[in-house]
Amino acid sequence: MTIECVAIIGLGLIGGSIGLAVQEMLPDIATTGWDADTEVRRRAAGRGLVGMVCETVAEAVGEADLVILCVPVGAMGHAAEAIAPHLKPGTIVSDVGSSKNSVGAALSAALPDAVIIPAHPVAGTEKSGPEAGFAELFRHRWCIVTPGNDAPQDAVDAVSGFWEGLGAKVEVMDADHHDLVLAVTSHIPHLIAYTIVGTASDLEDVTRGEVIKYSAGGFRDFTRIAASNPTMWRDVFLSNRDAVLEVLGRFTEDLSLLQRAIRNGDGDTLFDLFERTRTIRRSIIEEGQDDARPDFGRKDH
Ligand SMILES: NC(=O)C1=CN([C@@H]2O[C@H](COP(=O)(O)OP(=O)(O)OC[C@H]3O[C@@H](n4cnc5c(N)ncnc54)[C@H](O)[C@@H]3O)[C@@H](O)[C@H]2O)C=CC1
Ligand SMILES: O=C(O)C(=O)Cc1ccc(O)cc1
């Protein structure tokens, strides 16, 4: 199955990065794009995020062999309904949503006859919008593909090959497992960051100026994550509710154990945990997965 034309719906950080990456790394594939926001379309055209920014969704997807929905998870169903009447037969529809179960269900409901191959590039930043995209975003990063049981293998291979062409490493997984893994590695860490930054800003005896002035590395790192797109992350937590609540339950139990250890002066419990967690950080650095920004995340950096 050859992909000659890709349509990107949603021209923000991820859609824009895909558009730039295809033009740079897969120049034989034509790119079209559309965004519901007129101003985003104008800025996307200005940056040349895709070969042609279209004024209608029909124009954007009509010739596409692959359509990739790059909108917030809560908007995937609407975007799928908008493209539905305009697809040519055999077009593959994919997405980049950070949660996969609910998105897969929304796409199947809106596009009962389409070939749907959901995917999630596990690469991003705290930034959003058409100015935030860059072509190298996916290089050396994982992209998880979550096809349904009846998905045609040639379409799975086409989507996997597409992501590999953008420099990503591909793993195929079922959507349930994806959602549990990402709850641990991405969704709960974001929730923790949002919480601690909120807690700091609510402390009555510590001024806002002091929080900013004395923000040592730890708090500063949390503020980067807590600056992430509110619409996108609201949708992630609402859509991956079950897995997030499952992992959050475990997390709060573990936090209570640490609370008790501190109260009891139990240094061994604290030390043993901190020693164990340090090895995880070392493994991430050895894997070359330590930063999402350009020029990072490579062993040769
Ligand atoms: N930001 C990140 O680091 C990552 C995000 N993702 C996923 O990628 C998707 C997009 O996220 P970003 O690019 O960061 O967001 P973004 O906010 O930068 O871009 C989303 C774009 O979608 C447009 N949009 C919203 N509803 C629409 C609709 N119904 N039809 C057409 N356009 C519509 C918005 O106008 C906006 O320009 C989300 O589902 C997110 O979960 C996946 C990996 C990383
Ligand atoms: O900026 C960061 O640290 C991220 O975690 C980016 C990110 C956000 C959402 C995803 O689904 C995947 C990656």
Q: What is the pLDDT along the chain (301 residues), one digit of tens a residue?
A: 899 999 999 999 999 999 999 999 999 999 999 999 999 999 999 999 999 999 999 999 999 999 999 999 999 999 999 999 999 999 999 999 999 999 999 999 999 999 999 999 999 999 999 999 999 999 999 999 999 999 999 999 999 999 999 999 999 999 999 999 999 999 999 999 999 999 998 887 888 888 888 888 789 999 999 999 999 999 999 999 999 999 999 999 999 999 999 999 999 999 999 999 999 988 888 887 766 455 444 443 3
Same domain, 267 and 123: no
Ligand 2 binding pocket includes 128 (Cβ within 6 Å)? no
Alpha carbon separation from 273 to 187, 190, 261, 265 (Å, rounded): 22, 21, 11, 15
The verdict on residue 81 lying in a domain is: yes
Ligand 1 binding pocket includes 61 (Cβ within 6 Å)? no
| Euclidean distance between CA atoms 38 and 45, whole angstroms | 11
* pLDDT score at 259: 98
Same domain, 256 and 163: no
Same domain, 93 and 18: yes
ipTM score of the complex? Answer: 0.99
pTM: 0.95
Among the candidates 144, 173, 202, a domain finishes at 173
* pLDDT score at 102: 97
* pLDDT score at 291: 62
* pLDDT score at 204: 77
Q: Name residue 249's amino acid.
A: G
Nearest to 168 by CA among 133, 136, 126, 213: 136
Ligand 2 binding pocket includes 292 (Cβ within 6 Å)? yes
* pLDDT score at 206: 81
Same domain, 91 and 154: yes
Atom of ligand 2 nearest to the CA of 228: 1
Among the candidates 128, 146, 173, a domain finishes at 173
Atom of ligand 2 nearest to the CA of 120: 11
> Which residues span the domain enclosing 194?
177-291
Is the distance from CB of 70 to CB of 35 less than 8 angstroms? no
Same domain, 25 and 99: yes
Same domain, 169 and 187: no
